[in-house]
Amino acid sequence: MNYKYKFKLSNLDCANCAKKIENALNKNENINKASVNFANLSLVIETPLKNGVKELVKEIVHSVEPDTLVYSQDENTYKNKLLFDVIRLAVGIICFILSIFIKNSLIHNILIIIAYLVLLERVLKKAITMLIKGFNIDENLLVSISCIGAYFTNNIHEGLMVIILYEIGKILEGLAVNNTRKSIGDLMDIKPEYANLKVNGDLLRTNPTEVKINDIIVIKKGEKVPLDGKVIEGHGLLDKKALTGESILSEVNVGDEILSGSINTDGLITMKVTKLYENSTVAQILSLVENASDKKAKTEKFVSKAARIYTPIILLLAILIALLLPLVPGITFSDSLYRALVFLVVSCPCAIAISVPLAYFSGIGASSNNGILIKGSDYLEGIRTIKEIIFDKTGTITNNENLNYSLEIYNNKYKKEEILKYYVSGEELSNHPIAKSILKLCKVKEKFKVRNFKEIEGNGISFKIDDDKIKIGSAKFCNYENNIPGIFLSINNEIISKLLLIDGIKENAKETIEKLNSMGINVKMFTGDSKSIALDIAKKVGIKDVSYELLPKDKFNLLEKEIKKYNGNVAFVGDGVNDAPALRIAKVGISMGNIGSASAIEASDVVIMNDNLNSLLVLLKISHKTDKIIKQNLIFAFTVKILVLILSAIGIATMWQAVFADTGVTLLTILNTTRILKKSYCENKNS
């Protein structure tokens, strides 16, 4: 049996270092899987161990990154670390400034040494530890060699300025990254702190994890709904923006089901709990967002792998510069050593190693704010390259709003109300979208007692009422002579009636499909409905290519052919239940609607919580924006670094330019990345 543990990390300011920790943890025989999310400093461990996990994790983490601390999820140490870094920096700067004005050589030298020791302490300690424990070479070693080398080549003040500017840059970098993490965290601030549990007429403030199914809880005005449930008393106005991205308030009354994560903006609601906290909507969403970094994009994986071999190569090149340049007439060994030191500072890979994973995490955060949950950065990257989107019909292009029906009776012994009673009695035991539509449309005063209920996927349902054998489903399933569209009712193998549902088309469906076509994305529809219904719906929304009368396995087989045709770049949009096989094999499986459905979240790669087709356009916009920001960061970082590297090799660039090419570029790429969160993606605001 595997246990899952979540921890927070601190004093970790390098994406490459985060990858080293992840690799070390995954190599341990007691850990089945470890995932480090640098963007939000979280660590997820899966292990068969029940005890001593935190101690084991701490030991492994410290062996790789001695300064990195491991904490429980509810602890936060960032402010303490920031204060310590600022104080240490201030002491180093004061000693440096005093050394400039003090003429006494002894005191001057003591102040310089103190400044070097105070400012270099963290970086040098980390570099030495990494070398001793695993012969790992990273930016800490590059900066340490540069500063110490500057001291011994009599560029003392330049060496100090390098470490001062580097430390200032790291503090600003930490603030920028932390603010980005906070922004993303604020977007998904839906975790309930407590539940008002009703016990013997009194309200007890209780942890939501301790509330059981059928317990009664009360949600007051301004409080978050802590668990999923059904209203049994009162009414309220719910703000579902954190779940769906929509700002329109929803009125709820007795009998309505409500989801955790919503906020009661008005009224007093008493509800009966229908799901435990771990199975609730809010728990599923939080788990999905927290673990979104487990599946990394190709660009992110490449940067992570490249960073491991990049630094040693740079160190080797710097050594060659120091040794070979003196062979050029007019260049002394001291000059070549200085140029090599500048080369080392320029080459630190922070800008690339930090900005790429942070960009993907920001894209996932921006998506969450718009009611779109993405399981990993590879899916955010993948949606950008999609050439074809295939839609299911029921629950995706159509909905159960504005529905109507027609009933054709073949046996006059049965009256309309009695026939509807058969339909409702059977369909209330099914979770199929058609069953839900029938229940919504066909109202009856009472129901039959059903026995031996069975659901045959893609065909219909069968059950018994007293001694009568009932079938409800397709013409073929009910043994009707003509294979025509409709939901047939047979009693003891006699066809009694045909129910025909008239679909309601989702608002914005036609507009969304037109925009997808204008973007060069091919659009198709796969449905189990009859030819006439499928073609009618497709015509109304502007889809030209339709496949109809399909069973789930037929959808799967057709989708496989489309995937081969488009070299894998196919997305499938379905309801997340019947379409699970198709959702799984598509490059990006997207489930629409079914808010809170565990099957939807499980089967798909992307979950659109607001049931709005326009969210597909938002998803595409965020994906393209994230890709654009990443390319901007990479081009900018490489251009500046290569330029300064060339200038350093020919003796023009100094330590000042080198520090800008490292820390300055890193800070600018991080600030550029935050634009992903600040941009408005408003396609889905029209509900």
**3-class DSSP state of 239:** strand
Report the largest interatomic distance among the alpha carbons of the chain, rounded to a whole angstrom. 115
112, amino acid identity = I
Provide the β-strand partners of residue 372. 608
Cα angle for residues 205, 210, 211 (degrees, 5° grid): 80
C-alpha to C-alpha distance for 318 and 316, rounded to whole angstroms: 5
Catalytic residues: 392
Looking at beta carbons, which pairs linking 475-484 to residues 24 or more positions away fall under 8 Å? Answer: 484/530
Structure tokens at 122: 């963290």
C-alpha to C-alpha distance for 345 and 142, rounded to whole angstroms: 6
Residues 6 or more apart in contact with residue 336 via CB below 8 angstroms: 321, 322, 323, 324, 325, 326
Give, for 21, the enclosing helix (H) or strand (E).
helix 15-27
User: Dihedral through CA 437, CA 442, CA 448, CA 452, nearest 10?
Assistant: -20
> Which of 297, 421, 419 minimizes the C-alpha distance to 360?
297
Residues 6 or more apart in contact with residue 215 via CB below 8 angstroms: 197, 198, 272, 273
> Which of 15, 19, 21, 7 minimizes the C-alpha distance to 62?
21
Over the Cα atoms of the chain, what is R_g? 31
Looking at beta carbons, which pairs linking 561-568 to residues 24 or more positions away fall under 8 Å? Answer: 562/388, 562/390, 562/524, 563/587, 566/387, 566/388, 566/522, 567/387
- Cα–chain center distance at 212: 29
